[in-house]
Structure 1
């Protein structure tokens, strides 16, 4: 038979049918111009490509130095295949980009730092750029001393030590807040530069993941993708407490409204609508607050990126209930969203020009290898669509008004005198104000103190007075009499910040400051000022003032929320101390191990296993993110099996139940870390079992060193 005729018989039916579009055709990469056509933005606005491949690849964050040059972190080894091979190779970079003509598009680039391991945090200081890589909290300062665009000087700025764990559960952020403290996520301490030296102090436990921003008052924009939290801890500055109020997110706030239909979510069918669109936040990241003057109608709104849903949510803060409630600015829709499968927004920033900048990693896979293992739901989708092919790209966009075409002049703040910088503290652009304050403090030029105080006394701009106040604080130039004057101000926000700036004096039980706070408790009508008085007093030794506050405002519709949170914090602290006291009978070594294990658990494991060891529910479902540890026979049973699970993870049905993903491997942590956290879970929430030693972990690690895959229960049996 004729071969051509045979082919016609075999293929005839398909020749007559409509052409079938392959799954990969639905996700193949588009050029920046083509991709931008798929991105919906609000009417009256437009996107502009700031930079794209080959100028940048695999971007995850961008920042600007005081002169206006952009620095882009590239995680060049992130998930280059579905197994995440070679992720820790030292080939990631920081790129320096310059816009020469002010049109918003980058014209010049150079490799500022090369040979990095997945850099994750970056903060420009003066002419130094701070960078922290993955698996460490050591922060280095880099400087270009000869002006060729590449760093040739590297010095240790902060020795934080090694840390391990899944790279999605490590610190991010490194932001300089209004109070002059530098905050990161996944950390129970913050850093501050005082007279040129780095100080470290506890400033709240920031449990968020990828992304960290702040508003004009220092409230943080933070969330956690693991437990599917869009925003949390935004009621008050986080160093007062990890505040959570009932109904602080409007009903169904965490529902998302994407327009793509690629079902590549770790949560599987539970997280999808019938049309395959994502139904709930699952990778919320890049949280920030827009603080630019270019789009004043959006000023102060919170934003988050949802790369699995290919969208960006804009949130307005409503205070009409007496506390802050987050509301979607675009109900049943989103601020920005795309049908391009590779649109992966991971960070959002306000730029020196007042535009909103979007860091689009632009790639196929957006979740780390622990959740893409063979046999998992997500891996099947990745393989079916060929998502692993789309790598080594990336775009940065800026959102601007549709009719905007002005050229932006570089700020060149480093070239200005300190006196010339002071007026920048009054600018409408939050980036400009924050950068000016930072540079003045880094210069540590005390000669400008009289000029700052004079500017504050003459100002009619509340935000300017607040910036000047904290500039003076950063220069160690706030005296008691000056603070008292500002606390008595009729400007509510200035008074609030003045009270915050007085907290070192409150700790010292300064009679004049405490007397003024007592006067506010008795006579003030402003609930925000009264709230700040309570926040500043609640952990102090001023028991008389606290007692008076509670007696007067116990039933107040607004202040009662803060009192309730305070009591909750005190109760949790009491329970923790009772637990430690009970353990004291087992000896100081055991107690030390439990204290360390508690810290490890709360920085990593609680996200899925819950703060009470009973598991974290997947929002809106009856499914838990991970099995309970409380009363678990695997936790309390054979030590070797438990260590195996910790080192390599666990997958598949557990006690007849399925969970969204495999447990992540802790193998990157050292033996001591693993022994401490396992001993902790074996002796918490009513559990009681013998400690696990570093030697136990070392033994099991050695005998299973060739193991690469998670265990199943069948194998462990």
Structure 2
């Protein structure tokens, strides 16, 4: 039966006429005056998560687009024929397949989906779809789509399906699961952007948060977490992971060389993916060989990037070719990044925005280049696009409107692409292999492989033998024969020697795909490492991995040392391929037992550092004992060695470290912490040699040398660590990475940093880095020189202009009039940004020899070790640190914890006395209250009960959390509520409720239920608070950066400053005041599953709370509220319970008053 085809009949005319009338009525209404009328492409209307503007008709939306001169945009399709397009793909007939979802963001129940897959066709080639063929209307949030011979491959919750259309009527006769089930607890990424590769596999992205365990019919399974890419056979026979990491990749595209490019929503906008590589992910630190290189850093993009298209062919003018186009669904625009190769490495350059819209509803969810050379844009037209920023059930989410736009340059099209290739004979298909447009060539190749089949072999062979076959066509012909299993060895050998480097590159890629390429190719592949073209070299490196021999390892080790520093992708690929070869135990063992010269031995360690095995660790240690290396390299190798060296060899490692770094307790400390981590990962016990080493380190580090540089922090209690640090200059300053800069560690910390007194030279020259954000009202940053013997006299001063990015300057002062005088330098940081100094051109003054931040960490370690190891000899020193007014508060916290460990009963009373001491800052008192829960209630219970009577507010809440960790404490809390001493709602407080319910007895559960039965929903209170704060909001207030640093930066990062426990907040200003206020004041209203916390009860009775990070062999890794990772041995876990609450503190409504709230929102709204 033929599929119903929707053409412009009377029915469709009436539908469109009705829709037109609707839009005419909408247009007649007076338009409200909004910010975007003055700033048509930005402003408040684009910052709101729930757009306050109304929907426009397609014609009115089209009128609001701006493109570069000569480019034209036209409506290809819209509602009512389509709705909510997500992914686009063209078939061999030149028709556009579109996945659409009315269900999003909630998946339908199994079998009840109403989402559509539709084929759109422009039969008269006027740039507008005139035929709409419904393929399916029973899908469930379908995203990835790939038309194939006799049907399509599509993702629909929870599987990737083969949709079969055997008779060609565009109706699905059968549906078969190819892969799945995939996770779908988060529905805004899932499985997207299917792209057929030269290799014949279908490549895809795996989206945010979801955990998926899948397998092909061969039974070989893989597990995908948040992010990642994979490829699978179109028949479902096999699936392979191709990259690891990233956050929410949503876009893939190939280039002529066979490289695969991808966009990501958080880690970095653009990547040229390296197969097998690891990329950044929330909170993950680089390990082993490190993360693969990026193509370009985040600049003005938001973190909501969707779709990726590479202009191929000649329909666009030359400056716009070799460009990548990427949608931003938050900022409502399409970016263009050009790129150039440095060696084999692409270096992206952000160009002017390609398309901007005055309509805040424009949501470019996907971009593809069509066979006609035009760009097609899927517009998920909507008032709301945020998945977590706005509740999923918000009625403002539109489920009907959707458009597809078509962009051309002066109407130019590639007529070759207008052909119906399903009707082309072999000769026509061979001619099509010479098309300029890569998507056309890939389509033609699919027809030859899957429709013509074996009958295409001889014609393709003859085609390759033609003298004037274009290089791109030749490469495509090789892949066709390879996929048909008919590529003769002599043809491939000839291709490996082809005069065109692109052909040689593809020939090498084919060798890599061969399971057993055989000896005829080994020498040509090895020879290709010396090719003049870096793309050929890089493909040769990957191809050599198909020959897993010691000779291959030796060849790659030698080649690695010749790679120029600028070719980052080639260098990483070589390290990666060597690492993968060495991970195979027989070959890795053989390589580590081989005699190497010193340079080769060093080169080999660069890959072995990513091999998590005993033989690799032993080789690294042997190298360290015999070869002199830079200290940072040594420390990195020792960290890896410490993690994987057998327990029996740990004593030898400890002795080596102590001997190697005698007199350098700072380096010993770094390695001691790694060995501690190794013991926890392995679930082992601390051996005597490690314990004694720790005690010795604690004794040497507990009283650090007096600092030469000092600081005074204004109005900010900083409990995390020391706020001053040494840093390397940001890349954008173009200063050498060897320069050491010094100042406050994070932007937003205000105060003064002072140098030691020194003798004034005749002149003083140094470098500065200033970053003052976008505010024009902050006081200026400055550097000044004072006389030490008359501090009222400032003899030199440099003030800095506002800078929206890191800005470097060279400062030179003529000091001849003061030469020989005693002076000191001051960094006066008064802005929401920062000021650093360094690169002094005199020995009279230098940045500190030791990073103060590291010194603070070392002292904290020494104090904690004293407590954990029971070093009572250090007790007086720790008591002095606790009582000294000059001790930093984070050291005081560590001191109190250590004393409690040494004598809990004695020091619990002192700890509780601090809780009611109003002269101590509240954050400090809360820390003390929280730590009391780490100790047995039998020893601290009396003091805790006394403290409960003397505390209120947040300090009391922390104390209650401490009590709730065991049964006696739960009983005490419930009794206090029952007797009216505590108000009932306290039982529902985030953090406390979880602890109360964890491992509670049936009687305690019943009493909890009874006490809380009549509580009204707390959301009403929160909603009233949010409305009140917004009613009194003054977003022009300044100083918010400091509030951000104090409250948010341990977990959140802006412009690479801050922690990476929670989401990065670059571009957060686009959220708008309503959504920001809601997230700050009611963080548990809408939680991303990636940031859900767990309450962990240990077998010793203690309770921890943290964000799940990852699982190791013998331990589970979590992150705490300070943004720090901690390991919990699996054998120590009694119970782990997912929380209804996020790790984000829930008390900002009480701790951040209105004026500071205004400052914080003002700052966050400025981060665009």
Q: Same fold (TM over 0.5)?
A: yes
Name the counterpart of 1:689.
1128
Pick from 502, 513, 524 the counterpart of residue 521 of structure 2.
513
Residues 347/622 of structure 1: CA separation in 2 closer, same or farther (3 Å cut): farther
Q: Does 1:315 align with 2:337?
A: yes
Match of 2:183?
163
Q: Counterparts of 1:139-288 in structure 2 under 5 Å?
A: 139-144=160-165, 149-156=170-177, 158-186=178-206, 190-193=230-233, 198-205=237-244, 207=246, 208-227=248-267, 229-234=268-273, 237-239=274-276, 248-249=295-296, 254-256=298-300, 280-288=301-309
**1:130 aligned to 2:153?**
yes
Which of 534, 537, 545 is 1:530 aligned to?
537
Label 1:453 to 1:211 Cα distance change in 2 as closer, same or farther (>3 A).
Answer: same
SS of 1:165's equivalent in the other structure is coil
Match of 2:132 among 95, 106, 109: 109
Task: Answer whether contact 2:231 2:239 (CA < 8 A) is retained.
Answer: yes
- 1:580 CA drift (Å): 8.8
* Cα RMSD (Å): 4.8
- Compute the displacement of 1:470 (Å): 0.8
Is the 8 Å Cα contact of residues 38 and 340 (structure 1) preserved in structure 2? yes
1:347 aligns with 2:373: no
What is the SS of the residue equivalent to 2:432?
A: helix
Deviates further, 42-51 or 90-99:
90-99
Question: Does 1:41 find its partner at 2:67?
Answer: yes
Residue of structure 1 in register with 2:480 after alignment: 471
After TM superposition, give the deviation of residue 313 of structure 1 in Å. 1.2
Tell me, yes or no, if the aligned pair for 1:527 and 1:558 is still in contact at 8 Å.
Answer: no
Match of 1:604 in 2: none
Structure 2: any 5+ residue segments left out of the alignment?
1-30, 36-43, 46-50, 207-223, 280-289, 580-606, 615-639, 649-679, 684-730, 733-744, 749-860, 862-926, 935-964, 967-989, 999-1021, 1023-1042, 1053-1064, 1066-1078, 1094-1107, 1148-1168
Query: Does 344-353 or 685-694 show the bigger shift?
Result: 685-694
Where do 1:392-541 residues align within 5 Å? Answer: 392-404=400-412, 410-443=418-451, 445-458=453-466, 459-503=468-512, 508=516, 510-521=518-529, 524-537=531-544, 540-541=547-548
Higher mean displacement: 481-490 or 200-209: 200-209
The CA deviation string for residues 384-407 of structure 1, in whole angstroms up to 9 with x for no partner, is xxx926552111111112254898
CA contact under 8 A between 2:563 and 2:571: conserved in structure 1?
A: no
Cα contact 1:222–1:231 (8 A) shared by 2:
yes
Partner residue, 2:116: 93
TM-score (norm 2): 0.45
SS in 1 for 2:396: helix
The structural deviation recorded for 1:162 is 3.6
Q: Write the distance in 1 (CA, Å) between the matches of 2:572 and 2:291.
A: 10
How far did residue 676 of structure 1 move? 7.7
**d(CA) in 1 for partners of 2:464, 2:311:** 25
Cα distance in structure 1, aligned partners of 2:292 and 2:1144? 39
In structure 2, how many angstroms separate the alpha carbons of the residues matched to 1:436 and 1:693? 59
1-side partners of 2:543 and 2:483: how far apart?
Answer: 19
- Compare relative contact order (CA 8 Å, sep 6+) and give the higher one, 1 or 2: 1
Kindly state the Cα deviation for residue 303 of structure 1 after the two structures are TM-superposed: 1.5
Q: Which moves more between the two structures, 32-41 or 138-147?
A: 138-147
Instruction: Tell me the distance in 2 between the aligned counterparts of 1:665 and 1:182.
Output: 28
- Residue 248 and residue 110 in structure 1: after superposition, are their counterparts in 2 closer, same or farther (change >3 A)? closer
- SS of 1:34 mapped into structure 2: helix
Unaligned 5+ segments in structure 1 are: 1-17, 257-279, 594-618, 625-630
1:680 equivalenced with 2:720 (yes/no): no
SS of residue matched to 2:485: coil
CA distance in 2, matches of 1:189, 1:19: 44
Q: Is the 8 A contact 1:310 1:343 kept in 2?
A: yes
- 1:63 paired residue number: 89
Distance 1:416 1:555, change over 3 A: closer
Pairs aligned (count): 600
TM-score (norm. length: structure 1): 0.71
Find the partner of 1:338 among 357, 379, 398.
Answer: 357
Q: Deviation digits for residues 604-647 of structure 1, max 9, x if unmatched?
A: xxxxxxxxxxxxxxx999699xxxxxx9x99x9979979979x9
Query: 1:479 & 1:175 partners in 2: Cα distance?
Result: 27
Distance 1:563 1:453, change over 3 A: same
Tell me: CA distance 1:445–1:460, structure 2 relative to 1, closer, same or farther (3 Å).
Answer: closer
- Distance, in Å, in 1 between the alignment partners of 2:108 and 2:251 is 24
User: Cα gap change, 1:48/1:583 in structure 2, threshold over 3 Å: closer, same or farther?
Assistant: farther
> Is 1:119–2:142 an aligned residue pair?
yes
Task: State how far apart, in whole Å, the 1-side matches of 2:245 and 2:450 are.
Answer: 25
Report the CA distance between 1:336 and its aligned residue. Answer: 1.0
* 543, 546, 567: which one aligns with 2:550: 543
CA distance in 1 between partners of 2:1109 and 2:346 (Å): 41
Change (3 A) 1:206 1:451: farther
**How big is the shift at 1:439?**
2.6
Residue 583 and residue 688 in structure 1: after superposition, are their counterparts in 2 closer, same or farther (change >3 A)? Answer: farther
Task: Sort the Cα spacing of 1:552 and 1:691 in 2 relative to 1 into closer, same or farther, 3 A.
Answer: closer
User: Contact 1:38–1:339 (CA<8 Å) still a contact in 2?
Assistant: yes
**Cα gap change, 1:666 to 1:532, in 2 (>3 Å):** closer
Instruction: Specify the SS of the correspondent of 2:242.
Output: coil
Matched residue, 2:1048: 657
Deviation at 1:171, TM superposition (A): 2.7
Q: Distance in 1 between matches of 2:550 and 2:465?
A: 34
C-alpha separation between the residues in 2 aligned to 1:499 and 1:642?
60
Which residue number corresponds to residue 11 of structure 1?
Answer: none
Q: Quick one: distance in 1 between partners of 2:537 and 2:265? A: 34
Shift of 1:36: 1.1
